[in-house]
Amino acid sequence: MAVFTGAGVAIATPFDNNFNVDYDNFGKLIDYQIENGTDAIIVCGTTGEASTLSHEEHLAVIRYCINRVNHRIPVIAGTGSNCTETAIYLTREAQKAGADGALIVTPYYNKATQKGLYAHYEHIAKQTDLPIILYNVPSRTGCKLEASTISGLVKDVPNIIGVKEATGSVSFAARIMYETQGDIDMYSGNDDMILPLLSLGAKGVISVLSNIAPKDTHDICAEFFAGNVERSRELQIRYMELIDALFCEVNPIPVKKALELKGIFGGTLRMPLSEMEPQNVERLKKAMIETGVLD
């Protein structure tokens, strides 16, 4: 059984003006997501700026999220690392905290061969009972899980159950489904490809868009699963310009600005991320107004 079905938000981590985690506003964002239909929360992923959190902060944010959610919806913790032992440590701690699953990105910078990637994930999985979702995002990591490797891991390792597929290729997603014969919980890692991947059998999306449009992102999935494909298609197309604007600079710069524009919390970023360029802010604001995300 899938950890979740539908739209999981890759939730942003708020920082205050002193660059500390802003737990008050984080709690408000979590509640806003749940109140507007988000099906799961993915904490401390790319959008959550996990790469600039210390290990202590990383785990504190995971624990806070789990406690705030309080079993209302599933919480999947981002626990990946380019160091296998670090990923094991973070995953074990997330399990102790009560996470419902772990999202584990491929090793970055040092990369690995397909043999090394298989061993990395197999070794992590043996140290936890949590369901594991592989995170395949080569544009970020410089490291790609091939479809045959994904298939082998899902077939051979009982608690490796899915993949966040963020290569940006529908063809590659179809290859994964072919290699696994559909026996995998696939989630779109790209907001502009939710419906195409649902049509291939995906269980949903792990979404940046959900931070600012949780109900409609949920509905793209819910309408599809209810058989209302035309409505799902309308929503997917309606948000294309906003999705593009959310990625006109590196994520999560635009989505944190969008959250600021909505008045949910300030858009403070930790270095090396920088303030959004003024012309891109205007583009983002325009797209938010056109879709009704911003009044």
Domain boundaries, the chain: 7-229
- Of the residues 121, 135, 187, 239, which is catalytic? 135
- Of the residues 118, 121, 164, 257, which is catalytic? 164
Rounded Cα gap, residues 31 and 262, in angstroms? 15
Beta bridge partners of 221: none
Cβ–Cβ under 8 Å, residues 176 and 147: yes
In this structure, CATH architecture of domain 7-229: Alpha-Beta Barrel (3.20)
Q: Is residue 164 among the annotated active site residues? A: yes
Q: Which residues 6+ apart lie within 8 Å of 75 measured at CB?
A: 40, 41, 42, 43, 62, 65, 66, 69, 98, 99, 100
- pLDDT tens for the chain, residues 1 to 295: 799 999 999 999 999 999 999 999 999 999 999 999 999 999 999 999 999 999 999 999 999 999 999 999 999 999 999 999 999 999 999 999 999 999 999 999 999 999 999 999 999 999 999 999 999 999 999 999 999 999 999 999 999 999 999 999 999 999 999 999 999 999 999 999 999 999 999 999 999 999 999 999 999 999 999 999 999 999 999 999 999 999 999 999 999 999 999 999 999 999 999 999 999 999 999 999 999 999 8
Looking at residue 190, its pLDDT comes to: 98
Q: What is the pTM of this model?
A: 0.96
Rounded Cα gap, residues 33 and 43, in angstroms? 12
Looking at residue 270, its pLDDT comes to: 97
Cβ–Cβ under 8 Å, residues 79 and 104: yes
144, 240, 284 from 276: Cα distances, Å: 29, 20, 10
What the block records as the tokens of 133 is 């979702």
Is residue 285 within a helix (H) or strand (E), and if so which, with residue range?
helix 278-291
E runs forming strands in the chain:
6-10, 40-43, 75-78, 101-105, 132-136, 160-165, 185-188, 204-207
E runs forming strands in 216-290:
none
Beta bridge partners of 75: 41
Cβ–Cβ under 8 Å, residues 205 and 187: yes
Rounded Cα gap, residues 115 and 243, in angstroms? 35
Q: Is residue 135 among the annotated active site residues? A: yes
